[in-house]
Structure formats: C-alpha cells, structure tokens
Structure 1
Amino acid sequence: MRWMRAAGRALLVAAVVLAGHAGFGVRADSGAADSGAAASAARGPMTLVTAGDLTGYLSPLLDDWNRGHPGERVTLVELPESADETRAQMISELRSGSHRFDVLNIDVAWTPEFAAAGWIAPLERRRFPLDAFLPPVVDTATFDGRLYAVPYVTNAGLLYYRKDILDREGEAPPRTWAELARQARTLAPKYGMDGYAGQFLPYEGLTVNVTEAVHSAGGSVLRDDGAHVAVDSDAARAGLRFLADGVRDGWIPREALGYKEEESRRAFQEGRLLFLRNWPYVYADAGAEGSEVAGRFGAVPLPGPDGPGASVLGGSNLAVSSHARHPASAADLIAYLTSEPVQRQVLTRGALPPVRAALYEDPELVRAHPYLPTLRQSVLSAVPRPKSPRYDQVSLAVQAVAQDLLAGRQTPEQAVARLTRELAAISRKG
C-alpha cells in the first residue's frame, strides 16, 4: 500500500484528556493502600506489537502519547509484514506466557481464536464509546458475548471500474452479478482488456473473495456461534458458481488465479482490467500521478445476484494481552488510539479507514477521500469472516476447495459437499 501524509495537532490534547482514565477497576472493598498499590501496579511502560508499519504513520501517534505520558511510555514492536508470520510470532509469545507484548494490533479474524485460547483479556464495554463506531466493526471485537478487543481500523471491499469506458458505452457501473458478467464479457475485449479480477491466489484473500460471494448470495460459511457449518446451501452453491463460471467463460482471466492484492491492483492501474475487487487503498494509488487510470475510474459497492452484495470486513482490532504488565495503561492506550482526534489522523496520515462513524460524513475528509461515502455503505452492509477459534484451519479449507473449484477440478456442488465435510471435521476438533 501507499499512504497519504497529513499533519494534526489535536493528538496531544487527546492524550492529555485520556491520561486520567483507567481501563481496569479496583475492588471496592480494598483498603486505600492496597487500592493505590494495585493502581500503581496496573500502570507503567508497555509495548504495542503490530505487523510491519510500512509507512511509519503509527510512530508519530505513539510519540504524541509518550509526550503526554512520560511514566507510561509505549514502545512499538514491529513484526514481519506477512499476516501469517505476524500471527505465528504473536502466538508463540502468548503461548509461552511471555510479558513481552502488552497491546496487540490483531487482524479482525483473529479475535475469536485469541479470546478462546485465553491469550487476550476481556475488556469493559463501558470503557469505550462503542456507540460512536460503525456497528458492524464492533461485532468483530466480540467473542462468546464479551468484548475482547476494540476496533481500530476497518476495511471493506469495493468494485473499481473504468468510468471512462462505461461512460463511452452509455453504461452504468454494475449493480448485479449478471450486469458485471455481461459488461466484463462484452465490453472489456473491445478495449483489449480483461474483464474482472479479485484476489484468487490460495491465501487469505481467496477466503475473503469466496466468503463475499457466498454472503452476497444470501448464504454463510459458519453459523454465528462458529461451531456449526452452514455452507451446505443453495446460496453458497450460487456464490461459488458465479466465480467458477467467470473463469470458465473467460471474463475472469486465468492469470487472476495468481493474484493477491498488489498483483490485481497493478493490473487495474496499468489499464489491463475493466473491473477490480480490492480494498480502499487502491483509490489513492490508482489516482496518483503517473497512474494509467488516474481520473478515469470510479468505485461502487460490490454487486450481488439481485443488487448490491456483501463485502467482508477487513481491518484490525486492539487487544490487551492476558500477560500485560500494566493493563490499565494498556486500556488507556487503546482508548487514545480509538479516540476521534487520533482516528482522524489514522485516515489522513495512514489512509486507513477509521472505525468512527462521524468521520465518514465529515466534509473536509470526504473532499480529501472521495470514496468515503461508498466505503461507509460497504462497511455497513459488510459481514465478518467466519468466526471460529480455529479460523486458520477454516480459512485453509476454504482456500483449498476454492482453488480446485476455480481450476475446474470440482463443480460448485462438489465443492460445497467437500467444504461441508472438512469444516465439520474442524468443528469436531473443538
């Protein structure tokens, strides 16, 4: 991703305001001395662990916190850029009972797994202004009815399209799968382009694309409890058929079966695709000076069978390690990073979609980031990835089955039957 730079001076004010708030209470029957000792023990220096911060946007935010909290300084620990490597290193430390990490910046799909394993501590709902967040993002931070994290940034898929070409042909951007397939099949070849691509290499992106297709058709992969398989449905078969037919009929190029986010972005940005499913960061890259499609593209919500479809929620949540040395300071840091002034800077400095609902209607921000109203619509209709304490196994099963489906080795009916068996086996392990 490429990020956008901006400046702001409201952060230090927010840090000072938050300094007086504690994240964890003290027993009411404790004596004054014990209460003071407990509060003191719960406060102090800490670490925040995250995947590699490629743009360096996070360090200035933490510098502002540190200036306002000299006794509760936070040290940034950056793990590899790869989500899989980051997750593996986090789990290794947490399983060992290490006190190395206090606050964890985790993928939204990891929250159930980390909570079920006891690696992150439950949080007090009243401590955080959850009503000010976009409602779907709050669900990604809960497990078994309890809050285990706080939404930090969000994400939802968008459909990017060549506005210049559709305007020339007198066409509106597609709202349904049938319209998308027709335009990708008939218009793209006229301009020497491929029709449509998402992220179809077997990795987490493929799980996201498959889950979006299944939910857009009205189905689901697992039930909300994460323990029961729900993929054996006509809706799931319809979602998989949409993708399989696209590859078979050629409006999804076979080259796209090797695409991750960046490969697909480059294909669109270089003028080789009519349509692209990707995340909001593409808007800034594709519109930058030197892009082949700058000023010639638009973005709309993902289509579905009969109208707008469903995106999968991306983004990350902030959680407190069960072995945090200073949990009260850790909770205050999370409150700071999710406060409105800092969330504004998360967008303007890092080009990351915030979780605060009001920011999506802020005129100044909308002028600078024109995709915000569309993204808000996509987030509000988005769904989380399958909730499961064994999400990594669930995702691998989805990827393996979808790979065979898109390669033409299985029909949608066979794929659903196989996925049902494999997900049932994963659930039984619990």
Structure 2
Amino acid sequence: MLRRLAIVLAVLAASGGCAATGDDGGGESRAGSTGPITFATGRDTTAYLQPLLDRWNQAHPAEKVTLIELPEAADEQRAQMVANLQARSTRYDVLGLDVVWTAEFAENGWIIPLERGSFPLDKFLPPVVKTAIYKDKLWAVPYTSNAGLLYYRTDLVKKPPRTWAELREQTQKITKKHDIEGYAGQFLAYEGLTVNFSEAVQSAGGQILSADGTRVTLEPAAATTALEFLQQGLREGWIPEESLNYKEEESRLAFQEGRLAFARNWPHAYGPARNRLGDKVAVTTLPGPDGPGSSSLGGINLAISAYSQHQQTATEFIRYFTSLENERRVLTEGSFPPVWTELYDDPELIERFPYLPVLKESILAAEPRAASPHYNQLSLVIASTVAKALTPPISESANDVAASLKAELEEIIRTQ
C-alpha cells in the first residue's frame, strides 16, 4: 500500500506541476523541467527513427534525446519497461507503448496524464485517439496506427472475398488448381492469435470484453461462429496446419514467397510483398460472416514516465514527434501507418502507397482492444485456449470452448 501510495503521489505531483523528489534526490519540479531525455521503444527495423531524432537534437542541443532500442517482440518490450518502472528508475522518459498497454501503465501510476489541448487530437483518426484514453483521461499521444488487412494474389483472384464463405470457396478452388496454400493469419499461441480470434469474434458481431475491460461480454453465438470458421479451415485444409506456428513474420514470408494465396497481416508487410511479387499483390479489408469484417486496432502511443526528470522536454518532444510533418515521414520513411487523417487522403501518398484508402477504411471500422489493466493476463488465456481448440486432431466443440473461455476470463476479472 505504501509503495502504491508513493506512485500515485508521484503521478499527481508530476501532472500538477508540484515539487516532486526524483530518484536522483534533486527535488526538482519534474513537470516543468527541461533537459536531456531518452526514448524507449521497440527496435527500429527500418532505420527511419534516428534521422527524426537528429532533427530534434540539432534544434535542441540542451535537450537532446537518446534512443533506447528495446527488443522487437512486444512481450519483451513490455517486460523491460515494467521492470524499469516498478524499480522507479529515471532511465526512461518517453515510452513507446503498444496501444493495449495504456490502461495497465496508467492504473499502476507508471505514466502521467497529459493535457488534451496540447495536442491536435481532432486531426487524428478517431478510433486511434480512443486507444490513448483511460478513465476519461489522456495518458499518451497516438504515434502510429495499425489495422489488419487481407493480402491476396491478383494473378489468382479475380475479385477479393468479402465474406468467409467466399474466402473458403476461392481458396479451395485455387489450392486444387495451383501448387499453393490457401489462407493464413497469426495462429501461434501468443498475442497475435488473440488478435486474430478477436477479429473473428468482432466480425461475427460479438465482443470479448466491455470497452473498459471490467466485464466479459463474450456471447456464445459469436464466439462459436468465430472458432468454427478457423476450425473448419484447418479441418478442410484451406488453412494450412503449418500456420499454427505463424507469427507476423512467418505469415509475411509465406505470402511474399508465393506459398499463400491469402494472408491476414498488418500494413508493414505490403512493401516487402510488392518488392517480391510486384503487381501480383493487393489488399482489401478483412472478410466476415456476411460482409466486410472488423480488425483489431494496433499501433504505438507515446507516453511519459512518471519518474522522468524532464517531463516538459518529454511533452515537447512528443508534440514534435507526432506533428504532421513527422507523421508523413513515419509513412514515407518508416512505412508505418500514420495517425493524421488527412495523410490517408493525400493523392501523392496514395500513388506511392496504394493501400492507404483500404487501410483507412479498416482503421475506421476497427475496434480497440479492451482497456484493461489486466489485458496481458487475459490475452494469454485467450491465446492458449484458442490454440488448444485449433490443434489437430480438432475434437473440441467450438461451443464448449467458447463457454469455457468465458468462464476463465470471468474468473480472472472477478479475482483482480
């Protein structure tokens, strides 16, 4: 209790601009202080970040930012951040958070609330802004967005599928006629499977958790429909058994190497696929039972550590880093989906990135994952339960699995 109280007091002091004693014993007002900062985020695989940081450093020689690259895997990033913040370390200033971590980090007092009026949130895609809000407060600023897309081979597909039935029919015809597998997503037992299952549930008209993460809203009908879609694909072979070991990278490689006719993946897979397959690649929105489906919303938000010693500089840096000019560079130099709405309607950008209109449609129809401080634990249960139901020989009833999953999730929330 004492430690929790200390954390809460630190957050209140930082957000209110009152004096707060940091770990260095300086006793300075961290909310109004300026100076060098660090930016902790996942490994930069495209080498686009440093030039953006260099521009800031050239203009702010007394407030330079240093990049701290964390592991590429989101779970490992979170583990390092949590260990750092639980120790109340001042090493991290700005944190690049997966959108599903907002509630956990806010609830634990690890990040500070931000002033909404300090950022042009009205210029951002509305669903993206929701991922940075918890209990009616802004805890981070959207930096990149993400939504799932259906990749397909234009030399094999005349018209992309809009429903699961059309996807099944097309994959079965293609796999019989060509030496190629059908459809795959991310079906290994990790966060990716939670996302894929959540998308199937949403597309069937359901929802796993309430928006605030306090109630399990998983309806048996929607969950059963979602599971049966995946189970049917594996039983009939148009979802290859090999995909049960796929994360994002494995599914990306399988598609761009010509081993899949269809693949569910994030926008980052578009460039490499086009480089390899050229005009044979196109994307559309995810299919659903009766029409276009619904994606889970991904992306990175920028937050400020409650233990940062230079929170004013951190705030200014986030404002700079999420500006329209830099968001354009996020797309053109990093190939990551920006958060500014107008960039998705820019003719020059659409010519260079033809998937932008589809991606905008997907983001606007996407659902944020539940804002729960216990999201990580809930996700582990979802992924492990669904993975077991998909493992051959598939013998478990989808309805029984859905009922069991709902009971497990309710138990987690009840005991927290």
TM-score, reference length from structure 2: 0.91
State the one-letter code of the partner of 1:300. Answer: T
- Aligned twin of 2:132: 141
Aligned to 2:156, the other structure's residue is in SS state: helix
Q: 1:414 to 1:102 in 2, by over 3 A?
A: same
Q: Which runs of 5+ in 1 are unaligned?
A: 1-22, 28-36
1:203 aligns with 2:194: no
Q: 1:185 aligns with which of 168, 172, 184?
A: 172
State the one-letter code of the partner of 2:247. Answer: K
Mapping of 1:153-164 within 5 angstroms? 153-164=144-155
Aligned to 2:333, the other structure's residue is in SS state: helix
- Aligned twin of 2:369: 385
State the one-letter code of the partner of 1:84. Answer: D
Mapping of 1:9-158 within 5 angstroms? 42-158=33-149
Mapping of 1:292-371 within 5 angstroms? 293-371=277-355
Q: 1:205 to 1:38 in 2, by over 3 A?
A: closer
Q: 1:235 to 1:196 in 2, by over 3 A?
A: same
2: CA distance between counterparts of 1:38 and 1:263?
47
Q: 1:251 to 1:65 in 2, by over 3 A?
A: same
Q: Percent identity?
A: 53
- Aligned twin of 1:15: none
Contact preservation (8 Å) 1:188, 1:273: no
Contact preservation (8 Å) 2:378, 2:409: yes
Q: After TM superposition, give the deviation of residue 114 of structure 1 in Å.
A: 0.6
Q: After TM superposition, give the deviation of residue 233 of structure 1 in Å.
A: 3.0
Q: Can you list the C-alpha shifts for 1:260-295, whole angstroms capped at 9, x where unaligned?
A: 11111111112111111011111110111xx2x321
Q: After TM superposition, give the deviation of residue 188 of structure 1 in Å.
A: 2.3
Q: 1:398 to 1:26 in 2, by over 3 A?
A: closer
Q: After TM superposition, give the deviation of residue 311 of structure 1 in Å.
A: 0.6
Q: 1:40 to 1:280 in 2, by over 3 A?
A: closer
Contact preservation (8 Å) 1:177, 1:306: yes
2: CA distance between counterparts of 1:271 and 1:341?
36
1:401 aligns with 2:388: no
TM-score, reference length from structure 1: 0.88
Contact preservation (8 Å) 1:344, 1:359: yes
State the one-letter code of the partner of 1:118. Answer: G
1:410 aligns with 2:401: no
Contact preservation (8 Å) 2:15, 2:113: no
1:272 aligns with 2:259: yes
- Aligned twin of 2:247: 260
2: CA distance between counterparts of 1:349 and 1:142?
28
Q: After TM superposition, give the deviation of residue 409 of structure 1 in Å.
A: 4.3
1:420 aligns with 2:410: no
Q: 1:227 to 1:41 in 2, by over 3 A?
A: closer
Contact preservation (8 Å) 2:16, 2:31: no
2: CA distance between counterparts of 1:297 and 1:261?
17
- Aligned twin of 2:225: 238
Q: 1:158 to 1:389 in 2, by over 3 A?
A: same
Q: After TM superposition, give the deviation of residue 402 of structure 1 in Å.
A: 0.7
1: CA distance between counterparts of 2:100 and 2:302?
12
Q: After TM superposition, give the deviation of residue 55 of structure 1 in Å.
A: 2.1
Contact preservation (8 Å) 2:140, 2:301: yes
Q: After TM superposition, give the deviation of residue 56 of structure 1 in Å.
A: 1.9
Q: After TM superposition, give the deviation of residue 143 of structure 1 in Å.
A: 0.8
Contact preservation (8 Å) 1:44, 1:73: yes
Report the number of matched residues. Answer: 392
Q: After TM superposition, give the deviation of residue 327 of structure 1 in Å.
A: 1.0
State the one-letter code of the partner of 1:302. Answer: L
Computed over aligned residues only, the root mean square deviation of the Cα atoms, in angstroms, reads 1.6
Aligned to 1:105, the other structure's residue is in SS state: strand
Q: 1:179 to 1:349 in 2, by over 3 A?
A: same
2: CA distance between counterparts of 1:219 and 1:244?
18
State the one-letter code of the partner of 2:212. Answer: D
Aligned to 2:209, the other structure's residue is in SS state: coil
State the one-letter code of the partner of 2:137. Answer: R
State the one-letter code of the partner of 1:57. Answer: Y
Contact preservation (8 Å) 2:143, 2:299: yes
